[in-house]
């Protein structure tokens, strides 16, 4: 019986897979393999017994396949294939013992492969058999020589040190014969550029020739193609002039209006019939590649991204690519989509490199080896990214929801048609905060939040001479009840700068990729509202305001959204930071501060169908768990179905009461298993569980609800913690008191004013900035302004106030003016001396101290004759004067 079962497995499962890979199945009837090409001999004799299949391509056996019945796991039986390899009399001998280099073990469903030519090569699971051409290619190529060549290629001088570190880590992992690896680099640090350089190096050495660059957005695909095309791989030569860069086909709507860019579309033949001489990069979305491999079953819809409907299913062999780079590989899909994502990557027998800014536990688990990590804090510290400040926006509606009293007037919106009907409530109703923008909206709340944002933007314009580029994340963009549309309309009204100043960029707008490029490259739009489309990968360097008006529970999504602002400015090189507005009273930052940096992101929905769960209950497969799972599904259906659905369910369940049936399901299965399963397994019942009529969604507009909105800056410390201004000043006061003895500059300020000068000021600034709380002057000024309504207090005032609660807060100009007045009081100055005092005053306002050397280095002093001339004007008493000024500066 066992032999028959194995034979059945071979004929029904293994033979078709070998034939699909291009091997002809031939019973072995002789000893001469020479005339045979692309043949899988059955029962091939060896000195260690007959091999189930011997793969011959020419006069050599190049592969051995060990077959097992489907109920057996194949991984542990590769040793049998090794034994047969050793028992075949041919040369060369690999590792001095194996005559056949490529070994397989399979049960027809799972296949393991081992290249035994090198002792460090590990066995690995593959999705199918290699074609004869694939095995020929592996025999032709010399991995060791390719790695040696890689080591001789100089690094591109344009690469930053950490990018070279990443390249080196990848190359070491490949040299160590790792097949999967993960590279984590903070958003904005040039992941794509790093990989473009790495691809060039691997292609130049021959270590990778056919490269697939996978992204999950068409915008990112177009961006990646341009990155390859613009990269100067060799002096005077762009990458795409050395190696062809192909992409998927783009629709006209994906490109700029009037764009002359002509994508180099990948010929299908290069996917279905890869050749040894091919060397190229193919940039493609994961959605498209999944559909190429799986047809309609591979359709993945991510956020706002639309799925191409005209993708052809292709027979792509597993060796089509040597290297696959999965960009933004952290993405959290539904369980079904995650399964498709993994199936797509697993199809190919290639080196796989995952790229992400936010590694999740499941991502690390899949790619196995986290070979390089460049974190946001290090990038800020090294000056490659900018840090951010936080503004806490408090809205009663956002935090407490909406309460409607009896008799209150609301508009009821039909989500199907958009029609509105006036309604007067006959009883009170309440909606919690999670239902705002989903079941109800209060326009006054959105208006006041936008007005609060405008106040900050106006202040930014006064300080920097420009309105900040602003990205607002809305809760949704649903037809007729779109939160995004409401915010766009309000922002146009409140900012008052015309229609084009505010735009929506979601998957529902015309030409979203063109809209993104306009936001990046043009003055308008200055404010953009999105939902998902701009959460990842899109490069807007001059973005300075990010607004969270959608609740977020995924740390990965939260960090990706923050990552839109981290890049240094392009048109605005003075961009020193960006500002994040947490419109949920700072609770988003509070929540994510308590979570770990690497978390498991739960799938959005369950991947198994109801029919699959029912079948597993029928087969008694983990029955208790699957019963609980089905109970939850049925309870969800009960909450979503309409009255019409209940009538349809009465055919199967008394009264169509799905909730009662779900509650009793476990007991029913114990008491009347067969009868209950007869209902559950009925095809019409299962179809109804999927296609039941849903209850119509309701949506209310509550124009009479007024909101109270306020805001305050949160001060971000060097440890990543956000402080309220009062908390920050408490921490600052503690630091000043605790470090009077350790930091000499603090002691000078508080008790030895005669010793004040440039050196103590420098020491003070360094000590404060290097504190864990990151006490920069900008942070302290913001905190003092919020707490004491004093703008631009100078550093001397702030330290003295931290030490003595009654010490006055002065601006630098106020402090200098007082010091100068006290020093010159009682002196009769000549016109020349008065002029020099003014020069000195201007210098002190900017620098809060003065030294002899400043007269030769600072233009306002050196341009008028420097120390020599000034000292003559003051009749040799200049040193005494500046000593008095330094002392008086800190005496008040």
**825 CB contacts (<8 Å, ≥6 apart)?**
none
What is the reported pLDDT for 330? Answer: 58
Provide the pLDDT confidence category of residue 599 given band limits of 50, 70 and 90.
very low
520 by Cβ neighbours in 10 Å (0-12 / 13-18 / 19+) ranks as middle
pLDDT digits (tens, 9 = 90+) for 808-843: 999 999 999 999 999 999 889 999 999 999 999 999
CATH topology of domain 143-381: Rossmann fold (3.40.50)
Contact between residue 293 and residue 314 where contact means Cβ atoms under 8 Å apart? yes
Token readout for 143 is 């991995």
What is the reported pLDDT for 301? Answer: 58
What is the reported pLDDT for 171? Answer: 97
| 322 pLDDT above the threshold of 50 | yes
Token readout for 729 is 């000043």
Contact between residue 228 and residue 247 where contact means Cβ atoms under 8 Å apart? no
Kind plus residue range of the DSSP H or E element containing 304? none
End-to-end C-alpha distance for the chain, whole angstroms: 101
What is the reported pLDDT for 76? Answer: 75
Q: How far apart are CA 729 and CA 735, in angstroms?
A: 10
Q: Positive or negative CA dihedral for 437, 439, 443, 445? A: negative
In the predicted model, what is the mean pLDDT of residues 301-313? 66
Of the two residues 255 and 563, the one the predictor is more confident about is 563
| 603 pLDDT above the threshold of 70 | no
At which residue do the structure tokens 């109970």 appear? 631
Kind plus residue range of the DSSP H or E element containing 94? none
Provide the pLDDT confidence category of residue 94 given band limits of 50, 70 and 90.
very high
| 505 pLDDT above the threshold of 60 | yes
pLDDT digits (tens, 9 = 90+) for 402-415: 999 999 999 999 99
The answer as to CATH 3.40.50.300 being correct for domain 387-394+439-593 is yes
Characterize the bridge pairing of strands 61-67 and 722-723. unpaired
In the predicted model, what is the mean pLDDT of residues 559-585? 90
Q: How far apart are CA 146 and CA 149, in angstroms?
A: 5
Q: How far apart are CA 302 and CA 455, in angstroms?
A: 35
Kind plus residue range of the DSSP H or E element containing 878? helix 878-891
Q: How far does CA 353 lie from the centroid of its chain?
A: 15
pLDDT mean across residues, the chain:
89
Q: How far apart are CA 223 and CA 218, in angstroms?
A: 8
What is the reported pLDDT for 594? Answer: 65
Q: Please give the backbone phi and psi of residue 873, each rounded to the nearest 5 degrees, phi first.
A: -60, -35
How is the chain split into domains, by residue range? 2-140, 143-381, 387-394+439-593, 724-810, 814-891
Provide the pLDDT confidence category of residue 381 given band limits of 50, 70 and 90.
confident
Kind plus residue range of the DSSP H or E element containing 329? none
Provide the pLDDT confidence category of residue 600 given band limits of 50, 70 and 90.
very low
Contact between residue 216 and residue 286 where contact means Cβ atoms under 8 Å apart? yes
What is the reported pLDDT for 259? Answer: 53
The structure's pTM equals 0.80
Q: How far apart are CA 339 and CA 333, in angstroms?
A: 9
| 537 pLDDT above the threshold of 70 | no
Q: Positive or negative CA dihedral for 242, 248, 251, 255? A: negative
In the predicted model, what is the mean pLDDT of residues 15-24? 95
Characterize the bridge pairing of strands 323-326 and 210-215. parallel
| 341 pLDDT above the threshold of 50 | yes
In the predicted model, what is the mean pLDDT of residues 371-398? 91
Contact between residue 247 and residue 282 where contact means Cβ atoms under 8 Å apart? yes
pLDDT digits (tens, 9 = 90+) for 469-490: 999 999 999 999 999 999 999 9
In the predicted model, what is the mean pLDDT of residues 780-794? 89
| 306 pLDDT above the threshold of 70 | no
Do 387-394+439-593 and 143-381 have the same topology in CATH?
Answer: yes
Kind plus residue range of the DSSP H or E element containing 458? helix 443-464
Contact between residue 145 and residue 151 where contact means Cβ atoms under 8 Å apart? no
Lowest average pLDDT, out of 82-96, 248-262, 827-841, goes to 248-262
| 366 pLDDT above the threshold of 70 | yes
In the predicted model, what is the mean pLDDT of residues 259-275? 82
What is the reported pLDDT for 331? Answer: 61
SS3 371: strand
In the predicted model, what is the mean pLDDT of residues 10-19? 92
CB burial string 25-63: b at 16+ within 10 A, e below:
beebeeeebeebebbbbbebebeeeebbbbbbbeebbbb
Kind plus residue range of the DSSP H or E element containing 26? strand 24-27
CB burial string 301-313: b at 16+ within 10 A, e below:
ebbbbeeeeebee
pLDDT digits (tens, 9 = 90+) for 608-636: 889 999 999 999 999 999 999 999 999 99
Provide the pLDDT confidence category of residue 260 given band limits of 50, 70 and 90.
low
Q: Above pLDDT 70, what percent of the chain?
A: 93
506 by Cβ neighbours in 10 Å (0-12 / 13-18 / 19+) ranks as buried
What is the reported pLDDT for 255? Answer: 54
For residue 619, which of 658, 675, 662, 673 has the smallest C-alpha distance?
673
Give me the numbers of helices (H) and strands (E) for the chain, helices first please: 37, 30
Of the two residues 46 and 333, the one the predictor is more confident about is 46
Lowest average pLDDT, out of 5-9, 51-55, 137-141, 147-151, goes to 5-9
CATH topology of domain 2-140: tt1808, chain A (3.90.1570)
Return the HEC string of 788-827: HCCCCECHHHHHHHHHCCCCCCCEHHHHHHHHHHHHHCCC
């Amino acid at each position: 019986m066992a032999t028959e079962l194995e034979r059945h497995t071979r004929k029904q499962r293994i033979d078709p897979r070998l034939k699909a890979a291009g091997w002809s199945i031939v019973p072995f009837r002789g000893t001469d393999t020479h005339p045979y090409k692309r043949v899988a001999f059955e029962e091939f004799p060896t000195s260690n017994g007959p091999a189930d299949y011997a793969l011959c391509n020419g006069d050599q056996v190049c592969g051995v396949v060990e077959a097992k019945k489907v109920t057996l796991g194949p991984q542990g039986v590769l040793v049998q294939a090794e034994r047969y390899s050793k028992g075949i009399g041919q040369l060369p001998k690999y590792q001095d013992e194996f005559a056949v280099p490529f070994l397989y073990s399979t049960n027809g469903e799972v296949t393991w492969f081992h290249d035994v030519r090198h002792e460090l090569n590990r066995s690995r699971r593959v999705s199918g058999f290699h074609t004869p051409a694939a095995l020929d290619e592996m025999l032709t190529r010399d991995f060791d020589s390719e790695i040696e060549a890689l080591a001789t290629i100089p690094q591109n001088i344009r690469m930053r040190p950490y990018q070279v570190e990443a390249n080196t880590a990848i190359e070491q992992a490949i040299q160590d014969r790792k097949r999967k690896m993960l590279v984590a680099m903070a958003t904005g640090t040039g992941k794509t550029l790093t990989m473009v350089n790495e691809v060039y190096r691997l292609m130049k050495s021959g270590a990778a020739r056919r490269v697939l660059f996978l992204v999950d957005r068409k915008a990112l695909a177009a961006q990646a193609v341009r990155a390859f095309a613009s990269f100067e791989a060799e002096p005077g030569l762009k990458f795409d002039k050395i190696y062809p860069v192909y992409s998927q086909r783009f629709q006209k709507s994906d490109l700029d209006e009037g764009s002359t860019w002509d994508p180099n579309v990948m010929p299908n033949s290069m996917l279905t019939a890869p050749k040894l001489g091919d060397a190229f990069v193919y940039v493609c979305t994961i959605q498209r590649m999944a559909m190429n491999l799986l047809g309609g079953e591979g359709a993945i819809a991510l956020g706002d991204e639309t799925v191409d409907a005209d993708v052809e299913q292709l027979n792509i062999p597993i060796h089509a690519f040597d290297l696959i780079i999965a960009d933004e590989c952290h993405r959290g899909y539904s369980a079904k989509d995650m399964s498709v994502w993994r199936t797509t990557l697993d199809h190919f027998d290639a080196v796989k490199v995952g790229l992400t800014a936010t590694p999740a536990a499941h991502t690390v688990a899949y790619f196995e080896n986290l070979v390089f990590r460049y974190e946001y804090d290090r990038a800020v510290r090294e000056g490659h990214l900018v840090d951010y400040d936080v503004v806490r926006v408090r809205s009663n509606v956002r935090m407490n929801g909406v309460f409607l009293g009896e008799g209150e007037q609301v508009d009821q919106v039909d989500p199907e048609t958009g029609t509105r009907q006036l309604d007067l409530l006959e009883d009170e109703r309440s909606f919690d905060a999670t239902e705002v923008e989903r079941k109800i909206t209060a326009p006054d709340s959105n208006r006041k939040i936008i007005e609060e944002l405008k106040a900050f933007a106006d202040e930014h314009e006064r300080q920097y001479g420009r309105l900040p580029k602003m990205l607002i994340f809305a809760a949704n963009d649903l037809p007729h009840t779109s939160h995004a549309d409401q915010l766009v309309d309000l922002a146009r009204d409140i900012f008052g700068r015309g229609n084009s100043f505010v735009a929506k960029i979601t998957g529902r707008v015309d030409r979203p990729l063109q809209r993104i490029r306009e936001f990046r490259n043009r003055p308008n739009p200055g404010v953009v509202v999105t939902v998902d489309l701009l959460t990842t990968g899109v490069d807007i360097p001059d973005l300075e305001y990010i607004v969270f008006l959608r609740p977020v529970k995924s740390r990965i999504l939260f960090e990706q959204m923050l990552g839109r602002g981290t890049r240094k400015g392009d048109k605005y090189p003075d961009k020193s930071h960006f500002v994040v507005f947490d419109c949920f009273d700072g609770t988003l930052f509070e929540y994510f501060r308590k979570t770990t940096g690497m978390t498991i992101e739960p799938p959005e929905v369950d991947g198994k169908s109801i029919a699959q769960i029912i079948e597993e209950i029928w087969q008694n497969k983990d029955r208790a768990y699957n019963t609980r799972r089905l109970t939850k599904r049925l309870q969800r259906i009960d909450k979503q179905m309409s009255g019409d659905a209940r009538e349809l369910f009465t055919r199967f369940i008394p009264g169509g009461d799905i909730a009662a049936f779900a509650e009793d399901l476990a007991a029913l299965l114990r008491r009347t298993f067969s009868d209950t399963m007869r209902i559950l397994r009925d095809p019409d019942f299962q179809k109804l569980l999927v296609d039941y009529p849903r209850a119509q969604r309701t949506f209310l507009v509550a124009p009479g609800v007024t909101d109270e909105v306020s805001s305050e800056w949160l001060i971000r410390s060097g440890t990543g913690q956000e402080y309220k201004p009062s908390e920050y000043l408490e921490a600052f006061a503690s630091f000043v008191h605790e470090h009077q003895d350790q930091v000499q500059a603090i002691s000078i300020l508080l008790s030895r004013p005669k010793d004040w000068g440039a050196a103590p000021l420098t020491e003070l600034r360094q000590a404060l900035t290097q504190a864990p709380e990151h006490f920069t002057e900008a942070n302290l000024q913001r905190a003092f302004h919020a707490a004491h309504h004093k703008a631009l207090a100078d550093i001397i005032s702030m330290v003295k106030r931290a030490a003595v609660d009654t010490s006055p807060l002065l601006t630098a100009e106020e402090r200098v003016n007082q010091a100068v007045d006290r020093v010159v009081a009682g002196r009769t100055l000549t016109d020349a001396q008065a002029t020099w005092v003014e020069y000195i005053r201007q210098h002190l306002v900017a620098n809060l101290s003065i030294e002899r050397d400043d007269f030769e280095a600072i233009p306002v002093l050196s341009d008028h004759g420097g120390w020599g001339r000034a000292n003559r004007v003051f009749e040799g008493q200049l040193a005494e004067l500046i000593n008095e000024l330094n002392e008086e500066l800190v005496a008040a």
